[in-house]
Amino acid sequence: MDGWSIGELVHALGIMATFRSLAGVVFGCGILPEVDISPSLATDDALGTRTIPQNNEATLDPSMTHETVKIVGALLDSQRGAFSDEGGHDQQLVFYNAAEGEDSHKEERGDEAETKEAESSDLGRYLGDHRIKYSDFDVRAKHYSVFRVQDYSWKEHGYSLISRFYEDLAPLLDDEFDHIYSLTYHTILDHTNVDTAPFRESIWYYVHRINGILHEDYDYRNVNTFLNRNLKAYVKKVCFTPAEITLSEFLNIGIELKPEEKVHVALLAACAAKQAMLLYGLHAIMEFMT
- Where exactly are the structural domains of the chain? 6-34+48-104+138-289
Nearest Cα to 234, choosing from 212, 257, 217?
257
Q: What is the pLDDT of residues 12-60, one digit of tens each?
A: 999 999 999 999 999 999 887 665 544 444 444 433 444 444 444 444 4
pLDDT given for residue 240 in this prediction = 94
If you average pLDDT over each of 35-39, 74-78, 271-275, which comes out highest? 271-275
Average pLDDT across the chain, whole number: 80
pLDDT band (50, 70, 90) for residue 239: very high
Q: What is the pLDDT of residues 254-269, one digit of tens each?
A: 899 999 999 999 999 9
Q: What is the pLDDT of residues 99-140, one digit of tens each?
A: 776 655 444 444 444 544 544 455 566 656 666 677 888 878
pLDDT given for residue 235 in this prediction = 96
pTM of the model: 0.78
Does the pLDDT at position 87 exceed 90?
no
